Amino acid sequence: MEVNYRNPKIYLLSGKARHGKDTIAGYLKEFYEKDGKKVIFSRAGKYIKFYAMEMTGWDGSEETKPRTLLQELGTDVIRNKLNKAEMFIDRQIDDIEIYSYFYDAIIVPDIRLPREIDSIKEKFDNVVTIKVERINFETNLSGKEQKHSTETAMDSYEDFDYEITNDTLEKLKEELKEESGLSGAEFCHKGGFLMTTSTLEDAIKACKISQQQFHEQVVIVNLGTDEAADALLFKLPQFSGARIVHMELPDLPPMEWDGIYGESTLEKQEWKAQIKDQVKKILKSKPEAVYVQGDLFAVYPLIHALRKRHMPVLVMTEKDGEQKIVRIPSGS
């Protein structure tokens, strides 16, 4: 192997057990290798698995995985009792640094904690985060295993670059082949940013189909249905021909009132889940920006969540008696 720093793309995949992280990781690996690139899987949980293999004689297979022991080792013992929460993260960072001299892409297909993502992104620039979710999947994990922090810690994490909904693999392949007319079509992300085929000929055909059918139109979401703002938005050069999608602000959550003072009765996780669903609805339109106007209590959580997703947020202000559109700066 040639030894030089390759500044590899680092893919961090997160999702619950058996939701398809390894499947998506396999597609990414295949995508790079077809282009002659070198790829390696660097699993975040491999060191805990080594302990379990030595302790139980486990052969490392998925079918006989001692999941409860793995959870107890990683969280209950190493993170909580020994207070070594950063031990495996530091090792993972060391592995990535070493592999960066040999590989063009490094795939970590088993991210379980927000801190794992944050630490790697703090150290490396070329990082892509992907959430893999399998809808209506009936897990075979026990109730205790499902509630463990390694299965729930990422539930409220929102700062993914991409979210992939994984359905039955064979069903997806057949539908993709039928829709595209390409017998070699194997996978296409719902956002259209990634597709794999079994032959170069079908890959070229897929590119031609994309060029023929793709017609970009800028979309702005007007949140709060202030139609009077539409005319101002159209005056902005980058949005002169845009399509404006109007959405109503969400209803107030359940409240507990004491005179003029009130507090939401939602639990923190319920509140986060509600905001997450609202943001997903907004982003489904694939907007270039979101214009927001309305009650501060209703709009602030959405503005905060949208900015975390790097979505430009526009609001109206007034200067010298004239209405203006301003963009809320990053980090606000």
Do 25 and 104 lie in one domain? The reply is: yes
- Count other Cβ atoms within 10 Å, centred on residue 181: 11
- The whole-number pLDDT of residue 92 equals 92
* pLDDT of the residue at 330: 59
CATH (domain of 93): 3.40.50.300
121 and 248 co-located in one domain: no
Q: For Cα atoms 115, 118, 121, give the angle at the middle one, nearest 5 degrees.
A: 145
Cα–Cα nearest to 232, from 111, 142, 323: 323
- How far is C-alpha 105 from the chain's CA centre? 18
Domain residues for the domain of 65 are: 9-166
Same domain, 17 and 153: yes
CATH of the domain at 224: 3.40.50
Q: Indicate whether 239 and 302 sit together in one domain.
A: yes
Residue 213 has pLDDT above 70, yes or no: no
- Three-state DSSP at 302 gives helix
| Predicted pLDDT of residue 190 | 54
Domain boundary among 166, 185, 201: 166
| Domain count across the chain | 2
| Distance of alpha carbon 217 from alpha carbon 135, whole angstroms | 30
Q: Hey, how many other C-beta atoms are within 10 angstroms of the C-beta on 24?
A: 24
The percentage of the chain sitting over the pLDDT mark of 90, rounded to a whole number, equals: 16
Q: How much is the average pLDDT of 184-193?
A: 66
How many CB atoms are located within 10 Å of the residue 185 CB?
25
SS3 per residue for 254-297: CEEEECCEEEECCCHHHHHHHHHHHHHHHHCCCCCEEEECCCHH
Residues 161 and 14 grouped into a single domain = yes
**Interval 106-123 mean pLDDT:** 90
pLDDT digits (tens, 9 = 90+) for 224-258: 866 778 888 888 888 888 889 999 888 888 889 99
In a domain, 332, yes or no: no
pLDDT tens track for 4-22: 888 899 999 998 877 778 8
Residue-wise pLDDT for 26-39, tens only, equals 888 988 888 889 99
Q: Which of 166, 188, 207 is the last residue of a domain?
A: 166
| Model pTM score | 0.53
Alpha-carbon gap, residue 60 to 253, rounded angstroms = 47
Within-domain flag for 231: yes
Predicted confidence band of residue 156 (pLDDT cuts 50, 70, 90): confident
Same domain, 223 and 313: yes
Q: What average pLDDT does the segment 75-95 reach?
A: 86
